[in-house]
Amino acid sequence: MNIVIIGAGYVGTTTGIAFANQGHQVVLIDTDEDKINKLHQSILPFYEDGMEELLKQLIANGNLSFSTCLEEKIDQAQILFITVGTPSLPNGVANLSTVEHVARQIGRFIKDYKMVVVKSTVPVGTGDKIKEIIKDELAKRKQEIPFDQLSNPEFLREGKALYDAMHPDRIVIGCDTEKARLMMKALYKEEDAKILFTTIKDAEMIKYASNAFLATKISFINELARLCEKTGSNVIEVAKGMGLDQRIGPQFLQAGIGYGGSCFPKDTQALLALAKEKEQPLHILQAVTKVNQTQVEWFMEKVKKALGNLSEKRIALLGLTFKPQTDDIRESSSLKMIDYLLKHNAMIKAYDPKGMDHVKKIYPSITYTNTPYKAAVEADAVLLVTEWKEIIELDWNRVKPLLSQPYVFDGRNALDASTMIQMGYIYEGIGHRPSS
Ligand code: UGA
């Protein structure tokens, strides 16, 4: 099929690569010339392991191309995917201005039937708005060109984007005509059995509800971790025991320093904003976001208490990205941690395998090192922020003599507490108080 994807962010680029890899003809559009020029040279706008090699192949075999001009490319598409961003406005509401702009352009440029599929994460009711915008534009042109509007939310995870796009757990499609339904079945023919056809409004809500529920699991276990420290229980064991119940499941019960990234913080806020607009409060979700907003501070208070105070203390921050296997630092807990440390006059040396350049732009004055070992030199404490494999698997026997004080604060419960204690560290994790 001929597909045009509008918005070369994480979702758009990955979706484009996945469809092109299945043999579809894909054009990826973005107004950012620099991004498109780099894509032409097989350079991704983000880090995702293994994706650039595939990008190169798909450009070479002609299945994937790029453009900054929707008007030039729209005629060749049977299906248009909208994958532009929906960032939060200051009040938490999803900013739909780019989505609406794209819808307006579609209404202005189409000459024949198109399927317009929204993959961007949008509040319930956006599908109807898009339909109206396209109809309005067509009316201005005095045209009655038929089109279908669909919702097909994306569930891929950063760091595993390609795998998720190629092997989805489920494909949710909101559509209201038989023609569109048959075309989507043909598009996803290899994953046919995984499709859930539903209404557009249900598909839109499924996306928000899924992210809100995963965020709920994380905040639940993080809050429980705080209690575990008071009761002498070990949250790692508690999560393991809970997860054995198939109705609960073990995933997303890893206690830590809170969820970050471009999705959970934004999408929970947008769902809360929608709830407010509809005068139907979501009390659980309010608590979920509150726990997340306070989790770093709760952790840092532990660090401060252990070290006495933080003024002039040298802190090694290991990991800056919101999770491993990505260079994304959006809403990363590391940023809140840096703010806290700077406010308390601590001295920071930071290391991350992929995220340092981005953090440098926000905090140019802290020290960045090109190895984790250098960050540890003369540090009063090591803070493990992101559970990169290379950080977990450091030679911790080599790290210890570099330190001024043998404190390790493990923000992800990624290290084995008893091994660390045996090595002579003073170890603190999340939700468990290891005895020496
Ligand atoms: C998330 C969802 O998992 C995807 O399904 C969804 O498509 C995506 O948002 C989106 O809406 O685009 P992502 O943001 O890439 O994906 O990252 P996750 O792997 O879900 O992790 C989110 C945050 O939760 C990270 O900061 C991670 O460290 C944290 N987390 C995750 C925990 O603190 N504990 C856990 O047990 C799991």
Look at residue 251 and tell me whether its pLDDT is greater than 80.
Answer: yes
| 263 catalytic residue (yes or no) | yes
State the burial class of residue 142 (Cβ atoms within 10 Å of its Cβ: 0-12, 13-18, 19+).
exposed
Ligand 1 pocket residue status of 260, Cβ below 6 Å: yes
pLDDT value of position 42: 95
Q: Say if CB 118 and CB 152 are below 8 A apart.
A: yes
Look at residue 436 and tell me whether its pLDDT is greater than 60.
Answer: no
Tell me, in angstroms, the distance from the centre of ligand 1 to residue 364's CA.
27
Tell me, in angstroms, the distance from the centre of ligand 1 to residue 61's CA.
33
Please, which residues bridge with residue 407 across strands? Answer: 381, 426
Does residue 175 sit in the same domain as residue 246? no
Does residue 188 sit in the same domain as residue 268? no
Q: Any residues with CB less than 8 A from the CB of 276 and at least 6 apart, and which?
A: none
Tell me the per-residue pLDDT of 182-240, one tens digit each, with 9 for 90 and over.
999 999 988 888 999 999 999 999 999 999 999 999 999 999 999 999 999 999 999 99
Ligand 1 pocket residue status of 155, Cβ below 6 Å: yes
| CA dist 20 → 15, 45, 50, 315, 348 (Å) | 8, 18, 15, 46, 44
Domain span at residue 48 reads 2-198
pLDDT value of position 190: 81
Other Cβ atoms within 10 Å of 287 Cβ, number: 14
Does residue 160 sit in the same domain as residue 245? no
Tell me, in angstroms, the distance from the centre of ligand 1 to residue 402's CA.
34
Task: Give the pLDDT mean for 84-108.
Answer: 96
The best mutation among 259, 269, 331 to test binding of ligand 1, ranked by most ligand atoms within 8 Å of the C-beta, falls on: 259
Q: Whose CA is nearest to atom 11 of ligand 1?
A: 263
pLDDT value of position 433: 83
Q: Which of these three, 198, 225, 246, is where a domain ends?
A: 198
pLDDT value of position 191: 85
Tell me the per-residue pLDDT of 51-84, one tens digit each, with 9 for 90 and over.
999 999 999 999 999 999 999 999 999 999 999 9
pTM for this structure? 0.96
Ligand 1 pocket residue status of 157, Cβ below 6 Å: yes
Look at residue 434 and tell me whether its pLDDT is greater than 80.
Answer: no
Does residue 314 sit in the same domain as residue 194? no
Ligand 1 pocket residue status of 197, Cβ below 6 Å: no
Ligand 1 pocket residue status of 372, Cβ below 6 Å: no
Task: Give the pLDDT mean for 256-284.
Answer: 97
Task: Give the pLDDT mean for 9-24.
Answer: 96
Task: Give the pLDDT mean for 22-40.
Answer: 97
In a domain, 220, yes or no: no
Tell me the per-residue pLDDT of 330-367, one tens digit each, with 9 for 90 and over.
999 999 999 999 999 999 999 999 999 999 999 999 99
Q: Which of these three, 152, 182, 198, is where a domain ends?
A: 198
Q: Please count the structural domains in the chain.
A: 2
Helix (H) or strand (E) holding 384: strand 381-384
Share of residues in the chain with pLDDT > 70 (%): 100
Task: Give the pLDDT mean for 398-417.
Answer: 98
Model confidence at 40, in pLDDT bands (50, 70, 90)? very high
